[in-house]
Structure 1
């Protein structure tokens, strides 16, 4: 049975599987009183299993949910990097992220903690209850593999954000022995992540999946990324570079339909969702929720069918924009990642915006383009993993193991060639200069994809957009605020309310 996750989004908005084990109902479940549904009565059919995993996918969309006025959860991982700034400054929590003055009461911190643990809780319910359902074994195996991927994906965010965290692998209720769990060491969390993903690799998932479900390529991509992170700080398990290189190479050598798109415009073409360069994305459609990146639109300038609207609460810092080579296609107006002009009301006369804005998520189909009115339906997915990142993981990890090689140079060159940049000859690189070139490409290629902050933490380095070199994390001046990063910023604070609810979460992360 092939289930399209995007088609199920409208059906599962009413399905909420809470940590305590209560289960909501939607129109495709058994026609029972929703308040009477419990795991024992719910997990009895293949349809229930499909509905339950669809709910886990839906929960993952918390990343696009609102976080107060003119702000969304996704801004949490962009604002502290210094690569973005704001035109509105009307959300105090977002302002604190930009200013590096966030604390345990910052809304985005709380939303991410609760969002990730809701995904984990619902994945745990699937993993605990679906094995007992009498259904097609291949279908069951795939569902369990998807649940393990989504649990690992959530824990991977959480362990990088907060360090030692509660490691919950079973459904919880008020009678559970560890209902108030303590924090587990990061090594234990990473062990679970690797185990989940290794088992998901063998779950019979298809190599790619245009329906939006987890694929084997997505599992291997996440595993390569996990290994790369484990090789860096704070674990510093440098032998994992070889694992990251090997796993990324598996994806490259067996790419099949995976490829770099020929143009950057294809990345934000909704007709190409879940194919080509897209390995795994969060699914959006207008029946449930439009693409959530609206806060990148300029502040009250008529770039869409809505006319003068948008908040401009996340825009590129001009120094970051200037750090791109002038010949870099990613810097070209309306061709790459930025735009400094657009068509009035989406489809009218071209006008100057006065500064660059983020074009990476701009949907021409929904918003309009020259002479073509927008559909007003932004069905663009939110990309999580794409093939470009696999190439960069391989180039970095293989260089750490073997120094510059032809294969790693080819991966780097694929990225730079699409940007219409020349790559220096292989024999001109040392291991150190190749590393810096790859990392610079990560900053430029993966910009605005919620990845840069994690690079800063695992590398303990930050790309200095003014000098083109890399600074130490501690002491690097965030140009957006003029504030310096400190050791405490390597982790975020645990949310205050969560620590009140669970005293076993103490102590708070240092410095907060």
Structure 2
């Protein structure tokens, strides 16, 4: 496979180990021409390789795919003003998904997986060489590497469904490059078991805030297990791990107040509700992808010079209105000016200041140029994953409503707390619909929505609902029957395997929809 031929030969110059700050550590990236004998000498080498695992996740190719795979294909996104005809993003937004599209490449994820596999294989040997390297430190680093690897695989499974599961690092040209795909359910269950075995080895928190929020702690791994359990339909396990986070007394986790939510969570980063987020550094590793996809520095008049993606108007009419009049999140997410055709995305790129009038206005937002962290898990995830699990189990609908109310009440400060009433959502289906809508409101543009819709289709064992009621509305300018035919099978909601990967690995089997569809370039 293409990504497997990217060989990592061991890997960091000694000079790279001497980091001057926590932020520098997140910038570590492996050199490509070292030999193993020159590395893996002491615990600093293991620590540096762990830094490269995290560093790989903030590379542009990795970040682009987090947004494209998890957000762009959803009903939240339409084309922005700076998206050129013939762009791979444009093809995806026209439901013209082919195996030749650049975003069908998974190589950026397998590079990170290979870093993790390298650490997992060689780190134990270092303990025998370095008397200062304790078993506790080794176990903690291994837990983090396994969590990064699990997150990568979980994202790949939700995107492609059938992917190769590789646990050995590729270090030379003599190794087997031909690996078949693994059953997705088997793969995710293996990942869950792997993390359950090591979650207690992870650290609770670090002295540095950027490490506590930017590395996989116990709570980060618990959140990831809960997410995978929800995907697999293991709702009791999802509740269990959500409760482990909610009852944790070693870490202070709390929702930011609504007046500080926009700035603290998405602009400043590492907020009180953050569990795990990718750390970007303005001077060294700016978040180019968010700036280019959602908008960039300057006034509102210059934002469109950069913006590639725009928001679908989720407040366009009563039938499709997602946000109520009192919900402040709609302004933090996007702001429509009059009859403007393009709706700028606000989240991550616009900072809100308090309005003197008490009414949120477009002039209350300033486009910011600093690099924003990318939030992977925060406390809201825990509340709403638990809510979905409880709603699906169906025996504690009040408990599910209580979880939804945590985020809903924060976002509707002018309403009385507890404004959501069980009498309006007194069946499991109604409660699940409430949770789905609340997840869309809370996590819009955060790379989660399309995966939420796929999870719903898996639960319903049909794509009819997600296509007819959600996805089709973003393709209003296309022929609806043709577009529906492109989306209305379970195979079609996943991405195709890249044509390049198929040429390099004869054991890969293309997603059947893309193998037989006349709409797809073979």
Q: TM-score range by the shorter chain?
A: 0.7 to 0.9
1:224–1:247 contact (8 Å) kept in structure 2: yes
- Which of 431, 435, 448 matches 1:434? 431
- The match for 2:231 among 229, 232, 244 is 229
Name the SS for the 1:195 alignment partner: helix
Q: Which residue of 481, 493, 496 maps to 2:496? A: 493
Give the secondary structure class of the aligned counterpart of 1:510: helix
Matched with 1:106 is: 101
Aligned to 2:164: 166
Q: Once superposed, what is the RMSD of the aligned Cα atoms? A: 3.4
Question: Residues 435-466 of structure 1: CA distance to partner in whole angstroms, max 9, x if unpaired?
Answer: 11111111221111111111111211899xxx
Q: Residue 241 of structure 1 is aligned with which of 235, 239, 244?
A: 235
Q: Is the 8 A contact 2:239 2:386 kept in 1?
A: yes
Gaps of 5+ in 2: 19-29, 353-361, 516-522
Deviation per CA, 1:173-198: give whole Å up to 9, x if none. 45555421111111331132112321
Greater RCO, 1 or 2 (C-alpha within 8 Å, sep 6+): 2
Q: Cα deviations across residues 346-402 of structure 1 (Å, max 9, x unaligned)?
A: xxxxx997764222112549xxx98999885x1320111111111000011012224
Q: In the alignment, what sits opposite 1:11?
A: none
Which segments of 5 or more consecutive residues in structure 1 lack a partner in the other structure? 1-16, 232-239, 342-350, 464-469
The 4+ residue runs of structure 1 with deviation greater than 4 A are: 33-36, 63-67, 174-177, 296-301, 351-355, 369-376, 474-477
Name the CA distance, whole Å, in 2 between partners of 1:397 and 1:73.
24
CA distance in 2, matches of 1:282, 1:66: 10
Q: Given the alignment of the two structures, is residue 288 of structure 1 paired with residue 287 of structure 2, yes or no?
A: no
**Aligned partner of 2:13 among 25, 31, 42:** 25
Q: Does 1:143 align with 2:145?
A: no
Q: Which moved more, 1:478-487 or 1:127-136?
A: 478-487
| Closer/same/farther in 2, CA of residues 26 and 267 from structure 1, 3 Å limit | farther
Quote the residue 1:362 is aligned against.
349
1:391 corresponds in structure 2 to 383
Report what 1:480 is aligned to. Answer: 474
Question: What secondary structure is seen at the aligned counterpart in 2 of 1:411?
Answer: helix
Q: Is the 8 A contact 2:274 2:378 kept in 1?
A: yes
Q: Name the counterpart of 1:12.
A: none
Q: Residues 27-79 of structure 1, C-alpha deviation per residue, up to 9 Å, x if partnerless?
A: 3249xx96762234311111101110000001011356687xxxx76234322
CA-CA distance at 1:258 after TM superposition: 1.0
Contact map agreement 2:384 2:439 (CA 8 A) in 1: yes
Cα distance in 1 for partners of 2:398, 2:365 equals: 45
Between Structure 1 and Structure 2, which shows a larger proportion of strand residues? 1
Q: Alignment partner for residue 274 of structure 1, among 257, 270, 275?
A: 270
CA positional deviation for 1:406: 3.5
- C-alpha deviation, 1:244, in angstroms: 0.7
Q: CA deviation at 1:311?
A: 2.7
What is the alpha-carbon distance in structure 2 between the residues aligned to residue 54 and residue 60 of structure 1?
Answer: 10
Cα distance, 1:462–1:146 mapped onto 2, change above 3 Å: closer
Question: 2-side partners of 1:444 and 1:144: how far apart?
Answer: 36
**Does residue 44 of the first structure (1) align with residue 44 of the second (2)?**
no
Cα distance in 2, alignment partners of residues 479 and 498 from structure 1 = 32
Q: Distance in 2 between matches of 1:475 and 1:427?
A: 27
- Larger helix share, 1 or 2: 2
8 A contact 1:56–1:122 mirrored in 2: yes
Q: Secondary structure of the equivalent of 1:280? A: strand
- The number of residues matched between the two structures is 457
Partner of 1:329: 327
Question: Residue by residue, what CA displacement relative to the aligned partner does 1:108-163 show, whole Å, maximum 9, x if unpaired?
Answer: 221xx111111111100000011111312222221111100001000101112122
Q: Identify if the C-alpha distance between structure 1 residues 260 and 308 changes in structure 2 by more than 3 Å, giving closer, same or farther.
A: closer
Distance 2:347 2:153 in 1: 27
Distance 1:192 1:178, change over 3 A: farther
TM-score (norm 2): 0.78
2:194 is the counterpart of 1:196: yes
SS at the partner of 1:400?
helix
Taking the aligned partners of 1:119 and 1:159, their CA distance within structure 2 comes to 15
Q: Residues of 2 paired with 1:301 and 1:194: CA distance?
A: 44
Q: Decide whether the 8 Å contact of 1:403 with 1:430 is kept in 2.
A: no
TM-score w.r.t. the length of structure 1 is 0.80
Determine if contact 1:363/1:380 at 8 Å carries over to the other structure: no
- Kept in 2, the 8 Å contact 1:63–1:74? The answer is no
Q: CA deviation at 1:296?
A: 4.5
Per-residue deviation, residues 282-331 of structure 1 (Å, max 9, x unmatched): 11011222233113556998339xx5653332111114665223324235
